[in-house]
Structure 1
């Protein structure tokens, strides 16, 4: 909306939103549980009244029932009054997001089993946690791992269940995932990987039983964090969708219908490491895509440059950051894959304090291009993942990264930055620098 108001000030804008608020940052859920964020009302990065003052018709608590792309019409319902609203459009931007992929497990409808995506669900989780002590989390992605930390910090007993061999399986290779699992265990989380939940059932003592391939576990409540799926039903059969239902767009965020644009979790992204379209729902993607859709809706001005799916988290004081392909994902994508590991202090030992940095750097042995990286440290290294993201974006090689110009000061790093050093490990593995 901000971009439409900026570039097309004469546009007549109407927004339909199912909830009473907009732009909730779901990462705030675990921060609220852990006590870092005191008030969930502070974590919305946009306020409907801001747009109302600028002339935007904000139809909050309205559910869009159907869209007729051929006729350019919308049918919606006011969820308070139940009144039906008929509307039309010249251009439509779909930012319907995603929904939780609720697993088909017997007993999952139990009220002690809760979701963790929306602001309302965050309030419910917070309230329920006050009455319960032993909590299970099903799903070991970012949301599940962050929830585990939040509940540990609030004094709860936590079991984290993940069906894959490791937590953060989509973002990290085995060696780095194990470091995360060890960190969780050190802080009291019971981590169960390679574990599939098969049934939930009530117990006589008001607890709920989790039946799994790794045994039975009795807990007081359960949070489900199993991932999401695109919410694109309104456009099914009217625009091109991918196999999983994500809306397909061009680099300007335009769909196969020239009058419909799409952004956020409902869409695919261009994933640069594999030069392909992928479904990678991240808040960073949603913000950039929404901005592009607003800029391009009446005049195609700016293309997306794609993404490396760069992510990060702060877990029990350690920075964990990832970008691009893992070793396993690179193998799946048929790269002749190499991986280099670096473990060393981020700055000289003569400084009053320092901390170890662990890095895995993934690269293509044929072209020597950097494909991805994962890193972990007590030191704040998140911006280093951003640097590798740019290296991947630009198609740089391990040889170039080994000598990439980076500042030196004993306050910050060694004469060769740790990113230079992990690339030098990769070069040594490939028997020296590439002669052109």
Structure 2
């Protein structure tokens, strides 16, 4: 073994000029390639962390209302049909939180003391939104009511005390009619019949108390939409709410006026494509021409991804150059080996005649070339360790990834094996005695 090591060192020293060029070229190629790879891996880790944070957060999509626009909408900003289309188009990439809000007002008159007014919010939520707000599973044939709503239903069901009349949405109220017809209870929008809320003719549902109402005292609409600066006005108190499922929306009477819709989306797992949420917003803007939808996600993700894509073009160009350099090195190495092996024909023939084997000769040659390649590879790694921190990734300096050391060593050993095999295949040394006589 010591003798083989001695011979390898001697052969390398004998061809030190050619091998120095190979080492230098290989070091340059590996330096460029590893530095570019570190930069790409750093960008990937930064974007993966960003996508992971996006997957953990819900992004709100707003229907923008302009200052002074106090007129109630005659349609939901995001209709139930929109929600179904979004589930079909984007449900594989994002989790959609959807809800619709309707309002109802109820007036109870008595003893000429004015009216008791109940302003009720009806929320119809899809499964994702329901699970994010409440800790119970809704039944398909039930509505869930807050404590004040249950008090309202109890009053409305007391026919002896109140003569309940239901009028349509947004109709004018003439208080003189109440006394003339002995009417002392009026509701608009969601009608009440036999203690049930009427969604539409033939669709009447009982209410159950909201379990553990205190755990969710209110829904802050700042979580769902742009609502100015009045936090109190933005809150929907659960005690004044009726909660149903989103699949009840097609059953609602057209007489009932919508108040608003809620829409949030969340990337599933890691967001491989952060352009999906902007695509949803653009799709809504096309579907509702004239309306304006925006989303809460800052453009940081899109900016970083664009920057990474632009940077990747340059990185790929440099990597292509480095691969070209290493390809030239390998081809050049094979050529140099052919020259060297032809120069060594005489000594190899003598060695074979003295008992050396082709296997031993191959091991010596492989040790020679792999040593040259490993020195060039280690030099390239050392240079990349110094260069990498000076490269700028999308948001920080690039990091050196130690796994590159393993791959560079593996590449050097495999490349040396390939070059030795190719060079030996090009040298005719099958009959060393004949070669020795010719020489």
Q: TM class by shorter-chain length? A: under 0.3
* More relative contact order, 1 or 2 (CA 8 Å, 6+ apart): 2
Larger Rg: 2
Task: Name the structure with the higher strand share.
Answer: 1
Q: Normalising to structure 1: TM-score of the pair?
A: 0.18
Task: Name the structure with the higher helix share.
Answer: 2
